[in-house]
């Protein structure tokens, strides 16, 4: 696993430097935006038609075609994501209309997700602001009051410190181990999240007054109308055979990408009093170095450190921004092989200041003596 070999400059100097460096890339390019819309939506429609006709050949071919189709869904989601940040188009109205249109393809309500994602950007790396579970549904079940009042990163992957885990109840440990297991993270969670949780505004706060909750119900109504039309034209069985594998593949890929962007050995977690925005972006977000084809389908999302540093940089400028200055390249870099190893990391160790696995955490606690063991009141979860 490649990690940063040079330290990030101090807070004041880094802020001054990076703001000047990214300024040239905080602009919309209409031609690139239009081309991305045409290729993403057009490619998805072509894949749907191809999958429909492939059913007469064999379902094995339909399943194979589901992979590139899911790739186009990810690409459409990146467009929706940029529209949520107001960076895809110059016009605010164009960003809004495009984002709402994307939501009918990604099945994720635009305004509701935009608000939750803004909370993620504002709280990422702050220990006190960690989400309690992997998605809103589990966050609400774990602590109903949490989802209704606090601006916490409910969409984050549930991350406990070593001490919190050791001092937790048996039941909390079991739940945490389940939620951190790869089969759950990338198998069960995408199903629960994208087929259930994203269609219920469980993570909304009473303070949200810009139509976030309403956007969930309106998106659901739009999806019902769209699916009903497809079922009338193609039949229920055909629609399920085509849409379900796309949804499962795209959902698993989305969770995986979000996971590797923030869960790695040299991750960044700090108390709110000492938290640094610049450090959280450059040290707490990875550069996921993907092959060109996967980078294209994922809309340059691998340059996540640039995105957290400046959400105003549209996805089609992230690569150029990353290559523009060494400051942006002194970050944790993960290849696909490197990223597979991150699934063993489960707990944040404040003493070692890195992510560790369960076995290493327990072994380290034993070495430190009984004071590090499961004593005291259970951690809140």
pLDDT at 380: 41
pLDDT at 153: 52
pLDDT at 2: 45
CA 220 to chain centre: 21
**According to the per-residue pLDDT averaged within each range, which of 2-6, 200-204, 374-378 is highest?**
200-204
pLDDT at 8: 42
- Under the banding of pLDDT at 50, 70 and 90, the label for residue 365 is low
pLDDT at 11: 43
Residue 214: partners with Cβ closer than 8 Å, 6 or more residues away:
111
Per residue in 309-345, pLDDT tens? Answer: 999 999 999 999 999 988 898 899 999 999 999 999 9
Closest CA to 71 of 299, 304, 259, 255: 299
pLDDT at 104: 95
Q: Where are the domains of the chain?
A: 11-372
Strand partners for 126:
270
Is there a contact between 331 and 308 (Cβ–Cβ < 8 Å)? no
Statement: residue 4 has pLDDT above 80: no
pLDDT at 128: 85
- Under the banding of pLDDT at 50, 70 and 90, the label for residue 364 is low
**Lowest-confidence pick of 16-30, 46-60, 80-94, 364-378:** 364-378
pLDDT at 201: 81
Residue with token string 């490197």: 338
| Other Cβ atoms closer than 10 A to 156 | 23
pLDDT at 73: 98
**Lowest-confidence pick of 23-32, 178-187, 198-207, 219-228:** 198-207
Residue 192: partners with Cβ closer than 8 Å, 6 or more residues away:
135, 137, 138
């Amino acid at each position: 696993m490649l990690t940063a070999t040079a330290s990030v400059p101090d807070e004041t100097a880094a802020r001054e430097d990076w703001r000047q460096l990214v300024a040239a890339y905080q602009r919309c390019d209409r031609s690139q935006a239009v081309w991305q819309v045409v290729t993403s939506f057009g490619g998805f429609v072509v894949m749907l038609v191809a999958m429909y006709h492939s059913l007469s050949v064999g379902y094995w071919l339909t399943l194979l075609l589901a992979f590139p189709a899911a790739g186009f869904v990810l690409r459409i989601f990146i467009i929706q994501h940029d529209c949520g940040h107001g960076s895809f188009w110059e016009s605010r109205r164009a960003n809004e209309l495009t984002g709402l249109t994307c939501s009918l393809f990604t099945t994720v309500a635009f305004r509701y997700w935009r608000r939750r994602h803004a909370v993620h950007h504002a709280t990422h790396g702050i220990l006190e602001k960690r989400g309690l579970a992997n998605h809103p549904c589990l966050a609400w079940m774990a602590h109903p009051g949490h989802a209704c009042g606090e601006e916490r990163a409910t969409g984050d992957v549930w991350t406990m410190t070593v001490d919190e885990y050791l001092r937790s109840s048996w039941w909390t440990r079991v739940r945490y181990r389940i939620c951190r297991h790869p089969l759950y993270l990338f198998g069960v969670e995408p199903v629960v999240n994208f087929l259930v949780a994203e269609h219920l505004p469980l993570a909304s706060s009473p303070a949200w007054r810009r139509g976030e909750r309403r956007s969930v119900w309106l998106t659901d109504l739009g999806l019902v109308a769209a699916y009903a039309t497809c079922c009338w034209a193609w039949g229920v069985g055909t629609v399920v055979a085509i849409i379900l594998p796309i949804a499962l593949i795209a959902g698993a890929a989305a969770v995986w990408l979000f996971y590797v962007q923030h869960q790695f050995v040299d991750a960044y977690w700090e108390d709110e009093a000492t938290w640094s925005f610049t450090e959280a972006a450059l040290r707490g977000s990875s550069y996921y170095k993907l092959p060109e084809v996967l980078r294209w389908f994922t809309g340059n999302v691998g340059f996540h450190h640039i995105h957290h540093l400046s959400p105003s940089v549209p996805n089609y400028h992230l690569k150029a921004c990353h290559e523009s200055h060494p400051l942006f390249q002194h970050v944790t870099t993960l290849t696909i092989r490197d990223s597979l190893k991150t699934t063993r990391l489960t707990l944040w160790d404040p003493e070692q200041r890195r992510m560790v696995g369960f076995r290493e955490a327990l072994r380290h606690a034993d070495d430190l003596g009984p004071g590090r063991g499961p004593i005291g009141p259970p951690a809140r979860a």
